Amino acid sequence: MRWGKVRAVMVFELLSTVKSKSWLILTFGMPVFLLLYGIVVAIPGLVVASRARRTATHGVVDDARVLGSDELTPPAAELPPELRSALERTGRGGLFERSLSRAGVVKLRRFESREAATQALTRGEIASVLRLPPDYLATGVVERFSLDKPGVGGSDVRRVLAGALAERLIRGRLPPDLAVRVRTPIASTRDFVVTGSGAVRPSGALSRIARLLVPLLFAMLLLFSVLMTGGALVQATGIEKENKVAEVLLSSAAADEILMGKLLGAGTAGLLQITVWFSFAGASGSALAAQLASLGVAVPWGAIAVAFLFFPAAYLFFGSLMLGTGALGGNAKEANQLGMLWALLVVTPFPFVEALLSEPGGTLARVLTWLPFAAPITVVLRTAADPGAIAWWEIAGSFLVLVASTWLAVTLAARLFRVGLLLSGARPSLRALLRQARLG
């Protein structure tokens, strides 16, 4: 392969893609659209939140005589220790308190009788009335009185009243340490995972999420790239056929050089697009990973490294097959339909995600590792789920198989591509295609 030719095709593909209106609109319009969409979606939430931030006073009528006579103050909200320490490590210890100060406040006001309370309700002095009937201790039923207006809510005041009731009910009846546990039976969860090799290591919930997200993000990115970039390429090749430039191209560069140049050019444009999106979001992959690491989350660096290794080869593998078969289409539409058949293979491991995560060292996982069309997602998934469940030689071997398959795919696709580019009119039979491809 002559890389000078590949570069010439790549530069043309890249420039013509990034200068096209559709690319510019999608690249720069998408973040703006998402921003506008976010604002539109957030408006109702913001309105509700601003209402919730107002101090709401509710009346309490204690006919059960369980609340005593002291002030009814709601219990302070608490943050799980794991998250509190993570925030303190990043110097954001005050974040929780600051956000609490912005949250809404619920006040409870005592009334001697239901009548007095409901009169205050009709005057608009309070938002609702909660009555503890005399048989409350036996039934646990609380009566709630509110104005006849549509609306939802009431969970905040129920939580505040429940806290106040629990506090009064256990006061003096239980030893202090037991009282603390009754108030908060589960203060926090400390997670551990047992690897396939039997080792036990701590694992927080965030780490678990991160380990699941990395392979899923990789899979989505791969699928997205293949579908979008490959689709655009296949369509461009269809247009190329319609424009009748195939012979000039093939007289200047070999089919595999054109194919590789197109793949690299479109791939670079796709990568550029994703980078622009990440830049707009202000959260590129590395920044996000650094943030997670600073929060004490075990970022699956191994899986990320494997993803970076497998991604380009996987893109070239699927892209070349799509381009090769897409070139056989008589026009842009037909080319797209033919090319998209390969995209279905990208998602092969998806139905097995649960099995792969629960048994990353199982037979299914081992088999899928060696199949080139399933290997990229499978290997990343296995490495993320449990690095101990996949041997280094499996990763290396799988990568070599993928590279060899990519080379084969590019070679085969180049022949189909050449035959396809020269075709006009009716599509040839499979036999005729194979003969042409064999002759080269």
Partner 1 sequence: MPQAVAFEGVEKRFGDVVALRGVSFDVQQGEVFGLLGPNGAGKTTLMRILMDILRADSGGVTLLGAPHRRQTLDRVGYLPEERGLYTKQPVLEVMTYFGSLKGLSRAEARRRGRVWLERIGLAETAAWRVERLSKGMSQKVQIAAALLHDPELCVLDEPSSGLDPVNVRLVDELIRERRAAGRTTILSTHQMSQVESLCDRVALIHHGRLMVYGGVNEVRERYSRPEVRVRAAGALPAVPGVEEVRPDGEAAWRLLLAERSRAADVLAALVSAGVRVEGFERVLTPMEDVFVRVVQEAGS
Residue 440 is a binding residue for partner 1 (CB under 8 A): yes
**Least distance to partner 1, CB of residue 260, Å:** 14
Of 5-13, 150-158, 213-221, 327-335, the window that binds partner 1 (rule: CB under 8 A) is: 5-13
Give me 266's structure tokens: 């479109």
Residue 430 is a binding residue for partner 1 (CB under 8 A): no
Q: Give the Cα separation of 312 and 263 in Å (integer).
A: 10
What is the size of the binding site for partner 1 (CB under 8 A)?
30
Q: Which residues, numbered 289-318, are part of the site for partner 1 (CB under 8 A)? A: none
Residue 24 is a binding residue for partner 1 (CB under 8 A): no
**Least distance to partner 1, CB of residue 427, Å:** 15
**Least distance to partner 1, CB of residue 436, Å:** 9
Residue 252 is a binding residue for partner 1 (CB under 8 A): yes
Pick 22 or 139: Cβ nearer partner 1: 22
Burial of 153 (0-12, 13-18, 19+ CB in 10 A): middle
What does the per-residue mask of binding to partner 1 show for 371-410, with x meaning CB under 8 A? ----------------------------------------
Residue 248 is a binding residue for partner 1 (CB under 8 A): yes
**Least distance to partner 1, CB of residue 422, Å:** 7
Pick 258 or 313: Cβ nearer partner 1: 258
Residue 247 is a binding residue for partner 1 (CB under 8 A): yes
Pick 187 or 245: Cβ nearer partner 1: 245
Residue 240 is a binding residue for partner 1 (CB under 8 A): yes
Residue 131 is a binding residue for partner 1 (CB under 8 A): no
Pick 41 or 248: Cβ nearer partner 1: 248
Of 107-115, 188-196, 402-410, 432-440, the window that binds partner 1 (rule: CB under 8 A) is: 432-440
Q: For every residue of the chain, which 3-state class applies, written as one string?
A: CCHHHHHHHHHHHHHHHHCCHHHHHHHHHHHHHHHHHHHHHHHHHHHHHHHHCCCEEEEEEECCCCCCCCCCCCCCCCCCHHHHHHHHHCCCCCHHHHHHHHCCCEEEEEECCHHHHHHHHHCCCCCCEEEECCCHHHHCCCEEECCCCCCCCCHHHHHHHHHHHHHHHHCCCCCHHHHHHHHCCCCCCCCEEECCCCCEEECCHHHHHHHHHHHHHHHHHHHHHHHHHHHHHHHHHHHHHHHCCHHHHHHHCCHHHHHHHHHHHHHHHHHHHHHHHHHHHCCCHHHHHHHHHHCCCCCCHHHHHHHHHHHHHHHHHHHHHHHHHHCCCCCHHHHHHHHHHHHHHHCCCHHHHHHHHHCCCCHHHHHHHCCCCCHHHHHHHHHHHCHHHCCHHHHHHHHHHHHHHHHHHHHHHHHHHHHHHHCCCCCCCHHHHHHHHHHC
Pick 32 or 245: Cβ nearer partner 1: 245
**Least distance to partner 1, CB of residue 96, Å:** 55
- Select from 101, 155, 243, 363 the one that contacts partner 1 (CB under 8 A): 243
Of 40-48, 137-145, 358-366, 418-426, the window that binds partner 1 (rule: CB under 8 A) is: 418-426
**Least distance to partner 1, CB of residue 424, Å:** 7
Which residues here bind partner 1, judged by CB under 8 A? 2, 4-5, 8-9, 11-12, 15-16, 20, 240, 243-254, 418, 422, 424, 432, 435, 439-440
